[in-house]
Structure 1
Amino acid sequence: MQTWSKLLTLSASIALSACSSSPTGRNQLILFSDSDMSNLGAQSFEQMKQSQKISSDEKTNAYVQCVANAITQHVPKQTGFTQWEVVVFDSKQVNAFALPGGKIGVYTGLLGVAVNQDQLATVIGHEIAHVLADHSNERLSQSQLANAGLQITNIALGASEYAQYRGATMAALGLGVQYGVLMPYGRTQESEADIVGLELMAKSGFNPKQSIDLWRNMAKASGGSQPPELLSTHPSHDTRISDLTEKISSLPNYQAKRPNCQ
């Protein structure tokens, strides 16, 4: 009972003391420092550079770096790191990512779908937005709190008349946390990164209307294999396109010099 009480008190104090706000004003749970997250991102990035093939094509690297530089010039100074690092991975994956600590990875397979600088800027802006909004910290914090809650339930069941059903109950609760909390949270973050990233790429001089064409290309490239939105951490392509179309209509007319990344 004492252990249960401690866990309950810990969970309550975490929930009350670690609240923050995202760039769109959404409440967030943030438990880890910027320094901790930057170190974690840097370590993960180094492991990826060791385990995955890095593109040696000079033109491809220069092109991706040009787009990334145009965007990061308009990013406010971050706590935990001073410089963005961009690496192009030689892979057929249609993907890109950004990690805490200013680490950006782009797979060459993406360049066959993001067919111009504006579409590539849509993806890179989206990934940078995840970092600006502390989404990795938020996901990790949410997972920590979920685990604490499961521990409390496990202890409570062990001391009750339903102890014999504890294994099955915990398995069901684990599934409930995954689909009821963590996955929808991922969809919220993805939609937020779409909006923040769109503002960022438009502010950097790229054409925000090309974001619509990008996600149409993504839908075509997926060949209709995308899982149902309810069981996915990403919004459906149709949802994404609808949200971006609405946001584009309300964007201010930024006067940034248009990049020329070839």
Structure 2
Amino acid sequence: MDLIGIRLFKRNVSILTTLNRCRIFNSVVRWRDQRKLYSYKTLSDSAPTDLTRTHFSLSARGSLFPKSLSQTSRSRRLGICLTEFKSPIQAVPVIIQPTREFHTSGRLKALPAPVIWLVLKPIQKLVAIILGRSIRKWWLALPPNKQQLFREWTWRRRWHLAGAGAGFMFFISLFFLTHLDESPVTGRTRLLVFSRENFLELAQFTSDGYMEEFKESLLPASDPRHQVVEKVVQHIAQRNQDIAEISSVSWTVHVVDGPTVNAFVLPNGEVFIFTAMLEAVADVHQLTFILGHEMAHALIGHAAEQASLSHVVELLSLILLTAIWAICPRDSLAVLGQWIQSKLVQFLFDRPFSRKLEAEADQVGLQLAAKACADVRAGPVFWQQMEISEQLRGEPTIPEWLSTHPSHQNRVRQLDRLVPEALELRGRCDCPALPAADPRVIFSKSVRLILENAKKQEVMEKEENNEKGRAGVMLPLPQTPPVPAQGAPLGGLLASSALPQNSA
């Protein structure tokens, strides 16, 4: 190649290099303009100037490196995603977009697991009934020889069937072991199929339903009764901040104007109490105990525990229900067997377990009231008052084994056993000293005095009735007054009619 050709080649190479550098510079300018445009959209007036102060140097290889990275953290705080610079040789476009420009739709909320179980519960029963009835119809439709063959086939494979049953029991046991949990405060081991988080979601649905039901009878926040309940609930929560299940919940009070002597607390901290309950308590100490009892249900998670046991018992009873409809020769007998099964489950599992949870809530509620500096001796007095009130209203006494709650007498005895321990706990919480007079003793004396006065009044009424009876025997029988003769004086007539008449 001659000298002129070599010079022309070098000149072309120089021109190409210059063009490449211009392309790179133009890309940088376009990137800077784009970045400045987005910064004007998302930042303040001074922000674009700050973001465009970064200086860049172009190396001989054509790669671009930032000299200052001090703006990176600032831009991240403002919500802008920066893409790291790469060499233009890789031909990777740089796209800068602010995160504030993205809008996503709200996440769909699934129904809580307890709600799904409540919906599927009747469907499961229906499936079990249909399955058992189909098995019975299939068996009755078989001829006797095939029934005998099926019995022989079952006997030959008895060990396989026994192994399948053992495997089923193993998986049930494994399910129980993997769903054991420790109860707060008491430390009792329990079975939890539904978590507390599931019931917090369910509690929101339940709370909305109650608010809609009681919207016409809710007392305003300015009502003195609402203010008293609000102060007691917040005082209990403040004095028990060491319990995570209490400190992590926002407690809200709703006072319902109604004749029902009831109060309940949802797992999400929604407190509902009726005005009839406020009239039933004698003082603020009894009110503190009642609210502590209801708050104990919520913090321990009794709703989730009771639903978990009911769910497991229901699933196991489906096997028995299928067997009942398969074995009973007629549908009427199957319906009777199903009713007997439901009553046995109710009286052997559901109600005893409910009474156990109520007793535990009494124990924990007494501790919450003790830490709130209430007079815990007023707890047994409340249930004694409730027993007398029911007797005066003439309400029938239900045996304890038929009820979901312990009897008033058993509650009084249990609380009397727990009061000394609660008093010790109260003494360790820097509470003021209690009066020497025990409310239980005062209540017993008052009841005794009322009963004695009632007996005296009854005796006096009987004596008065007896005296009236004896006086009625001595009085003359009513007679027709004589017709006065003409000219007879009126005074003599009245005097003669008042005297007893002699028989002829």
What TM-score do the two structures reach when normalised by structure 2? 0.47
Q: Measured at CA, do residues 78 and 84 of structure 1 come closer, stay the same or move farther in structure 2, by a change above 3 Å?
A: same
Q: Is the 8 A contact 1:157 1:166 kept in 2?
A: yes
Query: Which has the larger helix fraction?
Result: 2
Q: Is the 8 A contact 1:85 1:104 kept in 2?
A: yes
Is 2:221 the counterpart of 1:54?
A: no
- Take 2:430 and 2:329, find their aligned partners in 1: how far apart are those partners? 64
Aligned partner letter, 2:198: D
State how 1:173-252 maps to structure 2 within 5 Å.
173-223=341-391, 225-251=396-422, 252=424
- Take 1:71 and 1:30, find their aligned partners in 2: how far apart are those partners? 27
Q: Measured at CA, do residues 79 and 123 of structure 1 come closer, stay the same or move farther in structure 2, by a change above 3 Å?
A: closer
Q: CA RMSD in A?
A: 2.6
Q: Secondary structure at the match of 2:273?
A: strand
Q: Secondary structure at the match of 1:190?
A: helix
Q: Is the 8 A contact 1:191 1:240 kept in 2?
A: yes
Aligned partner letter, 1:18: H
Give structure 2 stretches of 5+ with no counterpart: 1-130, 132-160, 433-504
Q: Which residue of 2 aligns with 1:18?
A: 179
Q: Which residue of 2 aligns with 1:154?
A: 321
Q: Which has the larger displacement, 5-14 or 98-107? A: 5-14
Q: Is the 8 A contact 2:263 2:272 kept in 1?
A: yes
- Take 1:242 and 1:175, find their aligned partners in 2: how far apart are those partners? 29
Q: Secondary structure at the match of 1:147?
A: helix
Percent identical across equivalent pairs?
27
Shift in Å, 1:13 = 4.3
Is 2:250 the counterpart of 1:86?
A: no
Shift in Å, 1:257 = 4.7
Higher relative contact order (CA closer than 8 Å, sequence separation 6+): 1
Q: Secondary structure at the match of 1:35?
A: helix
Q: Which residue of 1 aligns with 2:197?
A: 35
Q: Is the 8 A contact 1:34 1:80 kept in 2?
A: no
Shift in Å, 1:21 = 2.9
Q: Is the 8 A contact 1:38 1:81 kept in 2?
A: no
Q: Which residue of 1 aligns with 2:309?
A: 142
Q: Which residue of 1 aligns with 2:429?
A: 255
Give structure 1 stretches of 5+ with no counterpart: none
Shift in Å, 1:132 = 1.7
Q: Secondary structure at the match of 1:250?
A: helix
Q: How many residues align?
A: 256
Structure whose CA Rg is larger: 2
Any idea what the Cα deviations from partners look like across 1:111-158, whole Å, max 9, x if unmatched?
111121110011100001111221101111111112101211123344
Q: 1:167 aligned to 327, 335, 343, which one?
A: 335
- Take 2:199 and 2:168, find their aligned partners in 1: how far apart are those partners? 24
- Take 1:101 and 1:81, find their aligned partners in 2: how far apart are those partners? 10
- Take 2:430 and 2:271, find their aligned partners in 1: how far apart are those partners? 23
Aligned partner letter, 2:404: T
Any idea what the Cα deviations from partners look like across 1:15-69, whole Å, max 9, x if unmatched?
3322223332433221112221011112111211111120135211110001111
Q: Is the 8 A contact 1:97 1:104 kept in 2?
A: yes
Q: Is the 8 A contact 1:80 1:101 kept in 2?
A: no
- Take 2:420 and 2:287, find their aligned partners in 1: how far apart are those partners? 21
Shift in Å, 1:170 = 2.1
Q: Measured at CA, do residues 103 and 200 of structure 1 come closer, stay the same or move farther in structure 2, by a change above 3 Å?
A: same
Q: Secondary structure at the match of 1:78?
A: helix
Aligned partner letter, 2:342: G
